[in-house]
Amino acid sequence: MSYWLQVVVATPAHSAIAGPLTYRSESPLAVGALVRVPLGRREVLGVVWDLLPDGGALQAENIRLVAGVLEGLAPLSATWRKLVSFTAGYYQRSLGEVALAALPPQLRELNAVQLTRRLKRPVVDTSRAQDTSDLIALSAQQERALAEFDADTRPALLFGATGSGKTEVYLRAAAKVLAQDPAAQVLVMVPEINLTPQLQARFEERFAHLGKERVVALHSGLTPAQRLKSWLAAHAGQARLVLGTRMAVLASLPHLRLLVVDEEHDPSYKQQEGARYSARDLAVYRAKLESADTDHPHGDCRVLLGSATPSLESWQATLTGRYQRLNMSERIGVPSAIDTEATQFSDGPPLGKLAPPGGSELHAVSERGGLPLSAGPPQGKLAPPGGREPHAVGERGGLPLVRRVDMNHQPKHCTIAPPLLDAIAQRVARGEQSLIFLNRRGYAPVLACHDCGWKSECPHCSAYRVFHKIDRTLRCHHCGFTERVPRACPSCGNIDIAPVGRGTERLEEHLAELLAGVRRPDGEAVRIARIDADTTRLKGALESQLASVHAGEVDVLVGTQMIAKGHDFRHITLVAAVNPDGALFSSDFRAPERLFSLLMQAGGRAGRDARHSQASEMWVQTFHPAHPLFEALKRHDYPVFAARELAERQAAGMSPFGYSALVRAEAKEQSVAQGFLNAAAAAAQLRQLPGHDAVTPYPAVPMTIQRVANIERAQMLVESPSRAALQRFLAAWQPLLFDTRRQAEFKSLVRWAIDVDPIAI
């Protein structure tokens, strides 16, 4: 007797095979079972998606048999299948692509004997009662946040300042869920596992009583065997707590009761290849699905989003009441009210007293509304000895004092303003640490000849190759093309070719020159370190470098966004952003949001130890000190920034008040890529597709980086005020895109893809 099955398999992107394929089996199989099936000349892994009552008009001899079943694995749950179906439909990808990408790759390669051997490995239950005697006391704000979270069922946004103790709230919420239900599982998501090692360590330490096998990590940095082991433990319910990156949101967790999304604003939660899903949004949807599952005995599945600078989409959701907002505005161990009788003073440099060689006056801008600081204290304020400017710790909640340096008043071509350099030197002399943030790695963005105008362009991309001095190479950060630095200009032969601009490598070298005469308290020379993608290529390099910082072996840390978020540096009292102006006037409407978030996160690395919070400062070097973004930053006032951005977006009909998708095309010629998109849009207009009256497709344009690895790239923006109308349009448009692709003039098209809810335009 034959049993008819609908099986989902991984099909090539845009192969026009989006749904399940029909197979037959000689024995009954459960929906959700993992099977091996023939596909062409290969044997691939598949998931039984549905059962057919009979073959109907199908001829049995034309339907291929299931090759085998992965015995011992429980079927994937109905809730998991609903999640995958929604993801595939909403993000316009094939069902098999999403479903199989959510499974560990090694599962596709194991034979029945190998899988049985792994499943038979005993799980040593070393769980024991948790010792709560050494738990730190919660602050009043933490206790209130937990109480409010327990009293509601909506998705919750924990809006907490950096250093306010959000992680402890996550830990307590997870501990309560695990204690209530002996089978419950908790998923904790982080943007990038390498950027948050301390968070992982804290969770593993706090839940060590569950046993080593019951706290697992799930991310792409694991070996295939490690990833398979973690997935099997989660799927079987043995893992009680899973810590992972965006891929973990699609993991099989049959008893999931709590999802925590740390730093929910981070762009890393948006997948940029294949199915371009947002893990944050899927976490909210998954909690809704899990809550509707009647098999869970302990009520709803909750989702807790956390950030000091929430995404504007999540913030707007709290304003409309869809999300619950939990506020924690004060850092742990910092006074919550202003003591007018004992105003605290910054230990920063005596502003207004510094002058460069030659005696010309410098101007630094602090929290006084963008006015330049002149010699002497501001009127109406008491100046402490030494001319230091006062600030009340309470009014900032222990967050660092923000000083804006107007670079229009600094020496020409100055990289580090003299006031900032003096502030760093003072920190070094006191045995404190400083962090210098520049979101551009390499020595210089470009190498140039000033005689003929030659620049180090990449021959394969419409971008410049970055000069890396440490290995004397020109390296393209888009396609990876690398060459040795030429001895002379390839165009005119001039030997005087020079770097233009600065990256972290050059900044590190420049700081070493500027601070050459500065000494630590022990009399030794200043120690400068750099952390970016170039210095952390080797396995274990990041952990080793971070350990040096925590041990106090580094005085000045230079780096990119790798060090600007997620780390709990206890001895950093000064953070400086060297060149943040580039994003202020970007064509991407999300650029200001990303910049404000990055600067707030970077500033949050300073003063995390309550002993240093009074002296902590953030310096921002800018040519636009009066820009509203910096005005909000100086007050650490995210609500004001968000209100301004939301008003602008509402006027323009942009997210979260409007919905969009990008359709991207790649070809050997730009005209082919743009022609394909324009032709597909014209066909959609001609056919009057569902939702077309509420959807606006714009003409195709080249992407910002137009050519990568000799492939031309174009994109088309599609907007709508209605999410439902946009989804109907995109679903109906897919067949037209396939038909347009088959036209003779577009045979040279390489690929195309739809990106729903893009994070960058």
* Token pair in block for residue 67: 């090759």
Task: Give the whole-number percent of the chain exceeding pLDDT 90.
Answer: 56
pLDDT exceeds cutoff 80 at 308: yes
**pLDDT band, very low/low/confident/very high, at 722 (cuts 50, 70, 90):** very high
Query: Minimal CA–CA distance to 753: which of 93, 77, 173?
Result: 93
Q: Where are the domains of the chain?
A: 3-119, 140-328, 385-441+504-650, 444-501, 659-756
Listed ranges 283-287, 352-356, 367-371, 744-748; the one with the highest mean pLDDT: 283-287
Q: How far apart are CA 7 and CA 21, in angstroms?
A: 5
**pLDDT band, very low/low/confident/very high, at 571 (cuts 50, 70, 90):** confident
pLDDT exceeds cutoff 80 at 130: no
pLDDT exceeds cutoff 80 at 730: yes
Consult the annotation and say whether 452 binds a ligand.
yes
59-63, 155-159, 244-248, 736-740, range with the lowest pLDDT: 59-63
> Which pLDDT score, from 0 to 100, does residue 278 have?
97
The partner residues of 3 in beta bridges, in order of sequence, read: 25
Consult the annotation and say whether 414 binds a ligand.
no
pLDDT exceeds cutoff 50 at 345: no
> Which pLDDT score, from 0 to 100, does residue 371 have?
34
pLDDT exceeds cutoff 90 at 248: yes
207-221, 284-298, 697-711, 731-745, range with the lowest pLDDT: 284-298
pLDDT, mean of residues 245-272: 95
pLDDT, mean of residues 610-618: 73
Intrachain domains 3-119 and 385-441+504-650 with the same fold: no
> Which pLDDT score, from 0 to 100, does residue 297 have?
56
> Which pLDDT score, from 0 to 100, does residue 341 have?
26
Write the CATH number of the domain with boundaries 659-756.
3.30.70.360
Consult the annotation and say whether 458 binds a ligand.
yes
pLDDT exceeds cutoff 90 at 647: yes
pLDDT exceeds cutoff 50 at 368: no
Q: How far apart are CA 469 and CA 524, in angstroms?
A: 27
Query: Minimal CA–CA distance to 197: which of 537, 540, 441?
Result: 540
> Which pLDDT score, from 0 to 100, does residue 222 have?
87
DSSP state of 21: E
SS (H, E, C) 650-715: HHHCCCCCCEEEEEEEEECCHHHHHHHHHHHHHHHHHHCCCCHHHCEECCCEEEEEEEECCEEEEE
pLDDT, mean of residues 631-643: 95
Q: Tell me: the pLDDT tens digits for 657-706?
A: 999 999 999 999 999 999 999 999 999 999 999 988 999 999 999 998 99
Q: How far apart are CA 478 and CA 36, in angstroms?
A: 37
pLDDT, mean of residues 358-374: 37
> Going along 399-472, which residue ranges are E strands?
401-406, 433-437, 446-449, 466-468
Sequence letter at residue 545: Q
> Which pLDDT score, from 0 to 100, does residue 365 have?
43
Architecture of domain 385-441+504-650: 3-Layer(aba) Sandwich (3.40)
**pLDDT band, very low/low/confident/very high, at 128 (cuts 50, 70, 90):** low
Q: How far apart are CA 194 and CA 541, in angstroms?
A: 11
Q: How far apart are CA 688 and CA 153, in angstroms?
A: 41
pLDDT, mean of residues 506-528: 92
* Token pair in block for residue 753: 């893809």
pLDDT exceeds cutoff 50 at 120: yes
pLDDT exceeds cutoff 70 at 372: no
> Which pLDDT score, from 0 to 100, does residue 496 have?
87
> Which pLDDT score, from 0 to 100, does residue 124 have?
53
pLDDT exceeds cutoff 50 at 339: no
**Greater confidence, 390 or 668?**
668
Q: Tell me: the pLDDT tens digits for 164-205?
A: 899 999 999 999 999 999 999 999 999 987 766 677 788 888
83-87, 197-201, 366-370, 477-481, range with the lowest pLDDT: 366-370
pLDDT, mean of residues 299-317: 94
> Which pLDDT score, from 0 to 100, does residue 3 have?
85
Alpha-carbon dihedral angle through residues 689, 693, 699, 703, given to the nearest 10 degrees: -80
**Greater confidence, 27 or 352?**
27
Phi, psi of 495 (to 5 degrees): -85, -10
**pLDDT band, very low/low/confident/very high, at 382 (cuts 50, 70, 90):** very low
Residue 506: its H or E element = helix 504-514
**Greater confidence, 61 or 437?**
437
> Which pLDDT score, from 0 to 100, does residue 196 have?
66
pLDDT exceeds cutoff 60 at 80: yes
For the chain, the average pLDDT equals: 85
Predicted TM-score (pTM) of the model is: 0.87
Consult the annotation and say whether 301 binds a ligand.
no
Cis, peptide link before residue 267, omega less than 30° from 0 = no
Q: How far apart are CA 48 and CA 51, in angstroms?
A: 8
> Going along 26-105, which residue ranges are E strands?
34-39, 42-52, 68-69
Long-range contacts at 288-296 (CB < 8 A, ≥ 24 apart): 289/79, 289/82, 289/83, 290/79, 290/256, 290/257, 291/153, 293/77, 293/78, 293/79, 296/255, 296/257
140-328: CATH topology is Rossmann fold (3.40.50)
**Overall CATH class of domain 3-119:** alpha beta
